[in-house]
Structure 1
Amino acid sequence: MALVYVDGDPWINEYESCEKLYREIMEQLTARSRELKTSVEYARISSNVRFRMKQYSTEVQQLKDKLNQASMSRSITLQEAERRSRLIEGLRSKERQLQELFSERSLSVMSGSRVARPFVDMGVSGWRDEDEEENAMGGDVPSAGNYSIDDMRRQQQVVVKEQDAGLEVLSKVISRQKELAKTIGSEVDLQNEIIDDLTEHMETTDSRIRREAKHIQVVATKDRTWAYWMIIILLFITIIILVCV
Structure 2
Amino acid sequence: MALLNIDDDPWVLEYESCEKLQRDIMEQLMARQKESRSTEPYARLSANIRIRLKQYHNEVNQLKEKMDRSIGSRSITYDEVERRGQQIELLRSRGVKMDKLYNEVSTAIRDTRTDLLGATSSGWNFDDDDMLDNQATSVDQIRIQKQRMMKDQEEGLDNLSKIIARQKNIAETISSEVDLHNDIIDDLGEHMERTDARVNMETRNVTVIDRKDKSCVYWVIIILLFISIIAVATI
* TM-score bucket of the superposed structures, by smaller chain: 0.3 to 0.5
The answer to which structure has the higher helix fraction is: 2
Greater relative contact order, per chain length (Cα 8 Å cut-off, separation 6+): 2
TM-score calculated relative to the size of structure 1? 0.46
